[in-house]
Structure 1
Amino acid sequence: MDIEAEIRALQLNSAEDNNGVVNPEVTKPEEVEISDKLEEGVKDEVDTKSQAVQAEPKDKEVAAQEDAEASVEMETEKKRHLNVVFIGHVDSGKSTIGGQILFLSGQVDDRTIQKYEKEAKDKSRESWYMAYIMDTNEEERVKGITVEVGRARFETETTRFTILDAPVISARKGEFETGYERGGQTREHVLLAKTLGVAKLLVVVNKMDDNTVNWSKERYDEIESKMTPFLRSSGYNVKKDVQFLPISGLIGYNMKTRVDKSICSWWNGPCLFEALDSIEVPFRDPKGPFRMPIIDKFKDMGTVVMGKVESGSVCEGDSLLVMPNKAQVKVLAVYCDENKVRRAGPGENLRVRLSGVEEDDMLSGFVLTSVVKSIPAVTEFTAQLQILELLENAIFTAGYKAVLHIHSVVEECEIVELLQQIDPKTKKPMKKKVLYVKNGAVVMCRIQVNNLICIEKFSDFPQLGRFTLRTEGKTVAVGKVTDLPSSSST
């Protein structure tokens, strides 16, 4: 399994101003990782007034059901919503941390935990039992690696969280510095997180309880001192946007409550739940044009699409478009966190039941959009690219081909023209005509795809205008859409 699954998980939760969590494994320097992306969503207020109850018993039943649905929606409106994505190398404890979070927040009971403990012991994998909460299929439990994107939810006093446990697998096992060498995946993880909108990082130093560490402040400081320069070089303001904290995902120390001084006398900072609750949620306009990239679809009393709302709100009865095929649809029902709701706003992961379109007429990467100010559909666009690291002997010039990843779109593309190279110091275009560029260059170019794709200019919708280019399983460039053709289909 390669890093493309990580990109899908990150893009699934991309937003203009995201937050993230880095999860270095403290016991093995070679496996220090990036983990946990947080992303925010703000929902519009909803009218939850129930209709008058009729006298007939059947009508009372219907009214009671509507009141219950309204109550659920009202309750969810009281709390802000954050998405959390675990990313990083194998064996860092991502699934274990996710499982422990669900246990500590009351989503999993003691009896279930005992069942998982027995199952793990039977497989001679005693330390994996918490991971079984997130890793649910047999392949994951046998190999101890996440191979599918798992989804779970938990709540604190002020916040609803959605967890995505992404199947990001590292093929490397070397020393701590390996991840920071040219081609190292930790380098790629940081750049992807930064490119895809992770503005703030929570660096979780896991496995502090290991007998090679024993909550050692020296080991913790070593990890922090080695991570900091790299995070800074990747564009993060470490003092302002990065926070470190030690935990034990397996035992659950310093997660829901602060670690006891008898165990870790030197730590005076917050626990994980406190750190998550303290993250600020930027306001996003629930009244903007509706945009929901489709990540999956299926049949269920109509056609149901799944995705995350990137802009605007959706209500039962709304008339919308599916782009780029311009199918006119009506919203029959909206489901958020398995609950039927009447309205949902930006940042929410939804299932939306539609009429007017068949499942076979849609693909992942299509976008559910408002009729007025619908999303553009294009086969060509102008972009600003930063070249990261090309494959050996590759030349980045007109004719260069790669795979484009933008929101839920994955499409082959070709660089048809290099327009201008940008001076990295002045940020201004260079006058010299550009024929090709090397690693580290910033260049304006025209990009072409074979099929219509729905995208936006980064300046209008950052979450629908940032992308990566990959070749042979490696991220070679990151970019943002700067202009669309005036004739783009809408």
Structure 2
Amino acid sequence: MTDERSRRGLNPNAHTFIPNPAARPFIPGQPYVFTSQLPPMYHHPPPPIAQGTYPTYQQYGQMEPTNVVSHMAPTSTAPPIYHQPVTTTAASLVEMGSSVSLREHLSPSQQQQQQIPVDAWDDEVDEKVEIIETEKEMIIREVVKNDSPPVEEVQESVKPTGLETMKPENIGGKANNLSATRETADEDAALPVKFKQGVYIDDSSRKEHVNMVFIGHVDAGKSTIGGHLMYLTGMVDKRTLDKYEREAKDKGRESWYLSWALDTNDEEREKGKTVECGRAFFETDKKHFTILDAPGHKSFVPNMISGATQADLAVLVISARRGEFETGFDRGGQTREHAMLVKTTGVKYLVVLVNKMDDPTVNWDEERYKEIQNKLTPYLRKCGFNPKTDIIYIPVSGLTGAFLKERPNAEFGSWYTGPCFIEYIDTMLPSISRDYEGPVRVIIADKYSDMGTIIIGKMESGVVIKGQTLTVMPNRTSIQVIQLWSDDVEVDKVVSGDNVKLKLKGIEDNDILPGFVLCSPDALCHVGRVFDAEVVILDHKSIIASGYSCVLHIQSATEEVVVKAVICTIDKKTGNKVRARFVKQDEKCIMRLESSESFCLEAFKNFPQMGRFTLRDEGKTIAIGKVLKVVE
């Protein structure tokens, strides 16, 4: 207790108050002010001092331990002599264990040297950043770039990892990026994602695989359109459809029977609401499609995000019925949020199906169609979609099938001269680029146990064959793939872009979580819990500063994160970066985020599929961002 009180500037053997050297200078006649909250012992103001007397205090370096008591004794000379206030150096504060920011004792030039440069992420070579945490404040100090030992010394000091035979120039790496400060096996084994496997894929023998997610406000007709597509493409026969119709009629849900092809569990059929992200598939003449039917209710947005992360194409279903479009778009519905989320997850192309055009309140009215188009296009442009190249509008009826595969009678929608939906996605949709030669990356979306551990996910890059050995990240478990399915069809090989199920040997399903990644053993993905990111604040009424916590959605993973520091804001027009301590709505910034648990991620410039993320709080999306650098 004596040491603690003495360290904070209070003599335990005297009633005289001595200012804390780490605080602001004491000014006679004025109340004593701390730079932060009072220490735990100062529950009350300091004891009064006799009139005309003031505590004397000297320079910190001049204080003699043997004369502490006499030094603390007040003087009673008249007139009083005002001694110089205590001045301290940064070094002395560190020695004293000060809880106040060192930045207050540095010149502006010294402060600038201690901060992360706002353009640190523009350099090709990453800089090492050291985080110094004091009791009250975090200070970010940059370390000199060239503090790493030569490459030869690094190679001697790092333990063998089995990668010594792979030269940096052969895997797209750089020798000067090596560092002797690596402490984890994850960093030692992580290789640039440009590592090539050199496999050959015969594209002529297989149809192009496109993953398609249906999004939109609740009751817009997503599941109905999906079910009708499966019927029109022969994936659901007439007998099964008649069975669904009878069962739906018995439950008083006659108009919902088409959606039962995707809504398979009793809860979804009873309530008429999709909860889980349904899966189905169908084929056209040239392509193979996987349907991901996302839930439209705001309570199930996390499930919708999980489906959107696996998609290549998004189909936004809009209800043209009077009042329903306005509810979904203008009154806080999910139309806006879903459109923003699919763009955030990397979906480039968007098909807008204006559904329920056969409703009596619409009756194939062209003016209603144009009204919806004119209201929706400016927002989609704001989300990042190019209206000329990325978006197409098609009026449809999910119940009758009009303009899904064939045109209806001339009396219905004769004013529309564009393609039908299946015609567009089969022949007019631009091809999706795939990385067959990259390292294996299978992002796990779900898992279950069925005479073994089975995972469901999407192949983001590479090729997996039966019997291949892979590594589950972040827990670094080695497994063997013993069975493979692509859309419920057992195969011997799956490639980038496929929506897959894999049976694994060597791991239990309890040891796998959504967001885990299957990787090539010689090219593991990065794992971290602290990272720098470029973030755009979409919807948040108050400011966001250091200490703010929210939920991070990155690929299929969900993590709680804390803002460790707001580093700078970025002018959206000029790109100029300005130092900042907080950020507010509609601003772009660079911030450092920290999670309590490590998870799989990559810098956006290296692997975009694992570098995009969404921040949500209180049931709404507040920000979107991309990873700039994995710090630790």
Q: TM-score range by the shorter chain?
A: 0.7 to 0.9
- Spell out the pairing of 1:88-487 with structure 2 (5 A cutoff): 88-170=216-298, 176-177=325-326, 179-181=328-330, 183-277=332-426, 278-390=428-540, 392=541, 394-430=542-578, 433-485=579-631
Q: Which moved more, 1:339-348 or 1:435-444?
A: 339-348
Q: State the one-letter code of the partner of 1:426.
A: T
Contact kept in structure 1, 2:227 and 2:260, CA below 8 Å: yes
The structural deviation recorded for 1:145 is: 1.2
Q: For residues 432-477 of structure 1, what are the alpha-carbon distances to aligned partners after superposition, in whole Å with 9 as ceiling and x for unaligned?
A: x201111011010111001110101111111111000111111111
- Counterparts in 2 of 1:413 and 1:387: CA distance versus 1, 3 Å: same
Give the Cα separation in 2 of the matches to 1:381 and 1:424: 22
* Amino acid aligned to 1:282: I
Cα pair distance change 1:102/1:379, threshold 3 Å: same
Give a deviation string over 1:44-94, Cα, whole Å, max 9, x none.
7668xxxxxxxxxxxxxxxxxxxxxxxxxx99x420011111111111111
After superposition, the C-alpha distances for 1:146-168 in whole angstroms (9 at most, x for unaligned) are: 12221111000001111111122
Deviation at 1:349? 1.3
Moved more, 179-188 or 247-256: 179-188
Distance 2:328 2:401 in 1: 27
Q: Matched residues in 2 for 1:185 and 1:103: separation?
A: 27
Q: Distance in 2 between matches of 1:473 and 1:167?
A: 15
Cα deviation for residue 334 of structure 1 reads 1.6
In structure 2, what is the Cα distance between the partners aligned to 1:257 and 1:293?
Answer: 37
SS of 2:460's partner is coil
Secondary structure class of the residue paired with 1:273:
helix
TM-score, normalised relative to structure 1: 0.80
* Aligned Cα root-mean-square deviation (Å): 2.1
Tell me, in whole angstroms, the C-alpha distance in 1 between the residues paired with 2:451 and 2:583. Answer: 52
Q: Which moved more, 1:353-362 or 1:193-202?
A: 353-362
Is this contact kept in 1: 2:230–2:236, CA < 8 A?
yes
- Secondary structure of 1:157 counterpart: coil
Residue 415 of structure 1: how far off its partner (Å):
0.6
Letter aligned with residue 139 of structure 1: E
CA shift digits 1:191-245 (9 cap, x unpaired): 1122111222111111111122221212211211221222223222212211111
Instruction: Give secondary structure in 2 for the equivalent of 1:97.
Output: helix
Counterpart amino acid of residue 274 in structure 1: E
Specify every segment of 5 or more residues in structure 1 that has no aligned partner in the other structure, as ranges: 1-43, 48-73
Cα drift, residue 183 of structure 1: 4.8
The alpha-carbon distance between structure 1 residues 176 and 90, as it changes in their structure 2 partners (threshold 3 A), is closer
| Structure 1 residue 385 displacement after superposition | 0.3
Unaligned 5+ residue runs, structure 2?
A: 1-198, 300-321
- Name the CA distance, whole Å, in 2 between partners of 1:128 and 1:349: 27
Rounded Cα–Cα distance in structure 2 between residues aligned with 1:232 and 1:298? 39
**Is contact 2:280-2:487 (8 Å) kept?**
no
Shift in CA distance, 178/298, structure 1 to aligned 2, threshold 3 Å: closer
Residues 353 and 175 of structure 1: is their aligned pair in 2 closer, same or farther, counting only changes over 3 Å?
closer
Question: What secondary structure is seen at the aligned counterpart in 2 of 1:404?
Answer: strand
**2:561 aligned counterpart, secondary structure:** strand
Per-residue deviation, residues 273-318 of structure 1 (Å, max 9, x unmatched): 0111121123221110111122222334443222111111111122
- Structure 1 outlier segments of 4+, above 6 Å: none
**Structure 1 residues 292 and 91, CA gap change in structure 2 (3 angstroms):** same
- Percent sequence identity over aligned pairs: 49
Map 1:35-46 onto structure 2 (within 5 A).
Answer: none
The one-letter amino acid paired with 2:360 is N
Deviations 1:386-442 (A, max 9, x none): 00111x4x3300101001100111011001011111111012322xx2011110110
The equivalent of 2:30 in structure 1 is none
Q: Secondary structure at the match of 1:239?
A: coil
Question: What is the deviation of 1:357?
Answer: 2.1
- 1:181 to partner: Cα distance: 4.9
**Aligned length in residues:** 411
Partner AA of 2:567 in structure 1: L
Is the 1:46–1:343 Cα contact (8 Å) retained in structure 2? no
Cα drift, residue 175 of structure 1: 6.7
Structure having the higher strand fraction is: 1
Higher-RCO chain (CA-CA 8 Å, sequence separation at least 6): 1
Bigger CA drift: 337-346 or 102-111? 337-346
Deviation sequence 1:356-385 (CA, Å, 0-9, x none) = 222222222211101112101111111000
The C-alpha deviation readout for 1:161-198, integer Å capped at 9, x for no partner, is: 11111122158x96745555585532222211221112
User: Cα distance 1:298–1:273, how it changes in 2: closer, same or farther (>3 A)?
Assistant: same
Give the AA of the match of 2:235.
Q
Q: Answer whether contact 2:529 2:598 (CA < 8 A) is retained.
A: yes
Contact 1:259 1:271 in 2 (8 A): no
TM-score, normalising length from structure 2?
Answer: 0.62
